[in-house]
Chains A and B, each alone.
Chain A
Amino acid sequence: MNELKDKIRENLKTVIDPELNINVVDLGLIYEIDVPEPRTARVLMTLTTPGCPLHDSIASGIKYCVQGMEEIDHADVQLTWEPAWTPDRMTEDGKRLLQGF
């Protein structure tokens, strides 16, 4: 199970925030990945700011990405503002990429 979660997380690195050009995992937008039943995934995510214009695009991108995996048939993407995103949630790679801009 944990292997599958890790694989989903790794796959999500292909989904970028197009404004920052950094993937959603390194940005720290992915809070939780769960596999509640076989071939079904649930992703709990946030955005860097409420009212982000790319909200629907990024959420859909995450859904497409997970559902595109051969191990998953259905992905449920949920957005939360609690706790709010902070820069501390970024990975070291994410921070390095952001400073590079």
Chain B
Amino acid sequence: MFQQSSGNETNIKLPFSFIGFSMLALVLSQLLILLNGDLLVSGIFRLPAIWSAAHLFVLGWALMVAMGSMYQLVPVAFLTPIWNERFGFWQLAVTVAGIISFAGALYFRPQDAMIPGLLTLLGILMFIFQMFMTLQSQAKPNILTLFVGTALFSLLATISLGITLVMSMKTGFASEYYQAIFKTHILLGTVGWFSLLIFGFSYKMVPMFSLSHGYSMKPAPFVFAIYVVGIFLLIFSFMTGSHLLEVSGTFFLLAGFLTFSWHVKKIIDKRVKKKLDRPFMFALFAIGCGALIHLAALAASAANLFSTMAGPIILLYLIAWIAFSIIGYLYKIVPFLWWTHKYSKEIGKKKVPALKDMMDEKLALPLFLIFTAGTILLLLSFTVKLMPIFYIGQGLIVIGTVLFSYIIAKVITI
């Protein structure tokens, strides 16, 4: 099979715009959490400022990073060009307007969050449509398509349920199912969307960054099946209130996550590159964190304490699994984007830098230590309910986000 060019390069302005906005949302979301710490430490999560911070973090940062990364990764991982780049810029504009107005409405006037929420919904629907059209033209779907496709479906379900929640709050619609819808919204937004997406792209990026060869992909369908069974069981438990289903659901999620962790280890064992990059090690560290968080969820559920432990567990899930994974992979994705923009026409003509030279790897270790220490202190503050510990922990996370934004911004000076 001969091929001249993949034709799968994306206009880097698109992923970069998503990532740039996401960094602003990240810093702002963490500042909001810092300023509302007294409520969080008291175990009060359902407050306008926290809703606003949570949506800025999850939608403004994590979702925007995921979208930006997908605009870059989908063409290369699935060997399929983005369906319509111009549409992508319109999607960016609508989503940014939606998220800013939605987070603002949640903070100042939650009862008026419906219209901004619908604007956000429109932006996300445009993204899902874009990806659907792109994946549809993939010549040969594979297991990654299943992970990413199911993640996108979960995203669609998450936002549909989110809009139902806002409607319910405003009109009383489906108010008797509010709790079940709320829990399913959180579950699909975290476990269904982010985890399946990270699983899917990890299967592409882990072998690529470790130069692994000769590994088997046979466990991947089992990872998918076990994890998805866990998601379904938990949704049934929310609808029925069955504790047995809740324990079974968290058990299957743990089993799926452990199978994924074991599979990644088997892939890493087959690596040719013996010394792995630090940021990539951080993405692998996130997998270990994720396994422990899933174990904690099962333990809390088995002890019938899940409802009281849900806040800290979800927060840890977002920081130590999802955010750490994204940060680890962004360390690789951002330099690649800038390198492609600046040096892909220079390679072969003159000496060009390696990707490692594009980002300050010396800052990676302090950054990851700051995030890890901040997270541990944050967790401790929830347990002992001491405000100074919360402020130090969350303060470290804020410093980490500012440092990370600086490192990302510095790439474009190289």
- Report which A residues bind B (CB closer than 8 A): 14-16, 18-21, 48-65, 68, 77-82, 86-87, 98-101
Q: Which residues of B line the A interface, CB within 8 A?
A: 1-9, 72-73, 76-79, 204, 207-209, 211, 213-214, 272-275, 336, 339-340, 343-345, 347-349, 351-356
Q: Which residues of B contact A52 (CB under 8 A)?
A: 76, 208
CB distance from A23 to the nearest CB of B (A): 11
Residue from the list B4, B213, B272, B348 in contact with A78, Cβ < 8 A: B4
User: Contacts A54-B336, A64-B347, A80-B1 given; 17 further ones with Cβ under 8 A?
Assistant: A14-B351, A15-B348, A16-B354, A48-B208, A53-B76, A54-B340, A56-B9, A57-B340, A57-B347, A60-B345, A62-B348, A63-B348, A78-B3, A78-B4, A86-B213, A87-B211, A98-B274
The answer on a CB contact under 8 Å between A49 and B207 is yes
List 8 tightest A-B contacts by C-beta distance, closest first: A61-B347, A61-B348, A64-B348, A65-B348, A21-B354, A57-B344, A53-B76, A55-B6
CA distance A100 to B354 in the complex (A): 15
List 15 A-B residue pairs with CB atoms under 8 Å apart, sorted by A's residue number.
Answer: A14-B351, A15-B348, A21-B355, A53-B72, A54-B340, A55-B5, A55-B8, A57-B343, A57-B347, A60-B348, A64-B348, A78-B4, A80-B2, A86-B213, A98-B274
Q: Given A56-B9, A80-B2, A98-B272: A48 and B348 within 8 A (CB)? A: no
Q: Which residues of B contact A49 (CB under 8 A)?
A: 207-208
Question: Looking at the complex, which one of A15, A51, A53, A56 makes contact with B5 (CB distance below 8 Å)?
Answer: A56
Complex CA–CA separation, A64 to B351 (angstroms): 12
Inter-chain contacts of A21 with B (CB < 8 A):
354-356
